Amino acid sequence: MGQELNGRQKDGTFAPGWKGGPGRPKIGQSYADIIRSQMDEVKDGKTEKERLVSKIKELALKGTPWAVEWLADRDEGKSAVNVNLNQKRNPLSNLTDEEIREMLEAIKMKKAAIDTKEPKSLPISDPPKPEPRPTDL
């Protein structure tokens, strides 16, 4: 197959021995580049980054929760959080014993109505939704 001027073959693939194209052209600075350059600017002998950390420290000392957390995360490091995404949750685990008993009684009544084919007055409402546990928040 013939090689095009840009190093590609007619089917669009790179020709043997061609290491690749010029890559993606740089369009401009990324947000991270702009932020870094502005945070390194010096005013009154301090960088903007130093001034920002000082302000956050002031807020933390006044008791602002997010500022305390922000400083602790950067000083001590964030604590590791283990999350098991493969764990299957038991839908009954949040229910109280009484709620489970009520559900079982409703199931027994429905089964009895089906078995005897006699219409009975059955509760139509859905079972109560469990309160979220602190670990679910």
pTM: predicted TM-score of the whole model, two decimal places: 0.40
Helix ranges (H only) for the chain are: 31-39, 48-61, 65-75, 97-116
Which residues are registered as beta bridge partners of 3?
9
Asked whether residue 120 carries a pLDDT value surpassing 60, the answer given is: no
Distances 4 to 1, 20, 23 between C-alpha atoms, Å: 10, 13, 17
Reported as a single tens digit per residue, the pLDDT across 21-76 is 666 666 777 888 889 889 999 999 999 999 999 999 999 999 999 999 899 888 88
Residue bearing tokens 């670990």: 135
Cβ atoms of 130 and 99 within 8 Å: the answer is yes
Q: Which residue has the higher pLDDT, 67 or 80?
A: 67
Gap between the Cα atoms of 109 and 67, Å rounded = 56
Q: Which residue has the higher pLDDT, 1 or 131?
A: 131
Query: Closest Cα to residue 55, out of 37, 67, 43, 47?
Result: 67
Gap between the Cα atoms of 6 and 137, Å rounded = 55
Kindly give the interhelix angle for 65-75 and 48-61, rounded to the nearest 10 degrees. 120
